[in-house]
Amino acid sequence: MKALVTGASSGIGRDIARYLKEKGYELILVSKTESKLKNISKELDSKYIVCDLRNKEEVYSLYEKVKNENINVLVNNAGFGLFGVFDETPLDRELEMIEVNAVAPHILTKLFLKDFIKKDSGYILNVASSAGFLSGPKLSTYYATKNYILKLTLAISEELRRKKSRVHISALCPGPVDTNFNKVAGGEFHTKSLSSEFVARYAIDKMFKNKLIIIPGFSMKVAMFFQRFLPTKLALRITYNIQDKKNVKWFEAAEKVVKKNWYIDLFISKYQFFCFFEKNGYKVSITSIYFSYFSHFFVLEAL
């Protein structure tokens, strides 16, 4: 059993590699910084390949180097973001981001998928993001790349299903995770982040259970379920405000109000879930959570 993990030098990728090792996988670790890769490959007693995924030729050459290694699991995890308004952010950096977040996983997914289909086995995990469900003012290119990789993954999964293939593809869509992401992107999350270890373990467990869209964390699951009912312009305003307030201190105060609101909502929801179990009042319960969810955004907007 062998896995190739891109972006394995830090954060989610490094913890995915650690967990796959624990599960008995041989590893090929990929990223662009050799010093960091050396440390993790030493820790995991694994092979590593330095590859700058901004460069298509290096992506093709990566595949050539590993195509005969009988890899069963491909994790397209490497990626980065860039905060700022679209007319001010550097074009070159954005084009690099498109290469790393969208083009490289596209190439690797296609090349490995062909091999996996021939063997009729294998797993591909594409690391998208909760950003893949949304448009992201002030982080626009990043959100767009994550939409790309999520939608590509979903479409491929349906093709595989129609073929009755035993190859599985999944998209990992986490919300904020505590990694180097912010430092690289030049921003700061003021919302609670999940640990990369939790996200990695959750993702791999779900991938092996053939789950198509993997969203770690209960509140993010709920948020991603209900965001689809928001009118587009309202969703855009909310996302803009969330990104805009990333470095503003009083946003923390707003968060506290929202949290308080959550507690009240949780209390009501809990009560209604009891009603659900007793009286089978399923619709009442879900409707209430739906309105609670909206009320958070109204509190945020009001602030």
Residue from the set 77, 157, 269, 272 that interacts with ligand NAP by CB under 6 A: 77
Fill in the DSSP letter of residue 193: P
Position 240 contacts ligand NAP (CB under 6 A): no
Footprint on residues 94-113 left by ligand NAP (CB under 6 A): 100
Position 10 contacts ligand NAP (CB under 6 A): yes
The C-alpha angle 194, 199, 201, rounded to 5 degrees, equals 140
Task: Copy the structure tokens of residue 120.
Answer: 């009729």
Listed in order, strand segments (DSSP E) in the chain are: 2-6, 26-31, 47-50, 73-76, 122-127, 167-172, 177-178, 194-195, 213-214
Largest Cα separation within the chain, whole Å, is 62
The residues carrying an active-site annotation are 142
Which residue shows structure tokens 């979903």? 154
Position 78 contacts ligand NAP (CB under 6 A): yes
Position 290 contacts ligand NAP (CB under 6 A): no
Q: Do the beta carbons of residue 81 and residue 49 sit within 8 Å?
A: no
Footprint on residues 216-235 left by ligand NAP (CB under 6 A): none
Binding-site size for ligand NAP (CB under 6 A) equals: 29
Position 13 contacts ligand NAP (CB under 6 A): yes
- In the three-class reduction of DSSP (H, G, I as helix; E, B as strand; rest coil), residue 81 is classed as coil
Footprint on residues 23-42 left by ligand NAP (CB under 6 A): 31-33, 36
Position 148 contacts ligand NAP (CB under 6 A): no
Position 18 contacts ligand NAP (CB under 6 A): no
Q: Do the beta carbons of residue 123 and residue 208 sit within 8 Å?
A: yes
Part in contact with ligand NAP (CB under 6 A); list of ranges 61-69, 78-86, 161-169, 220-228: 78-86
In angstroms, the Cα distances linking 6 to 77, 122, 274 are 5, 16, 45
CA distance 299 to 171: 31
Part in contact with ligand NAP (CB under 6 A); list of ranges 9-17, 161-169, 214-222, 279-287: 9-17
Position 179 contacts ligand NAP (CB under 6 A): yes
Q: With respect to ligand NAP, which residue has the nearer C-beta, 138 or 292?
A: 138
Q: With respect to ligand NAP, which residue has the nearer C-beta, 154 or 303?
A: 154
Q: Are strands 122-127 and 73-76 parallel, antiparallel or unpaired?
A: parallel
CA distance 242 to 245: 5
Task: Copy the structure tokens of residue 140.
Answer: 């626009």
Where does this chain bind ligand NAP (CB under 6 A)? Answer: 7, 9-13, 31-33, 36, 51-54, 77-80, 100, 127, 129, 174, 176-177, 179-181, 184, 196
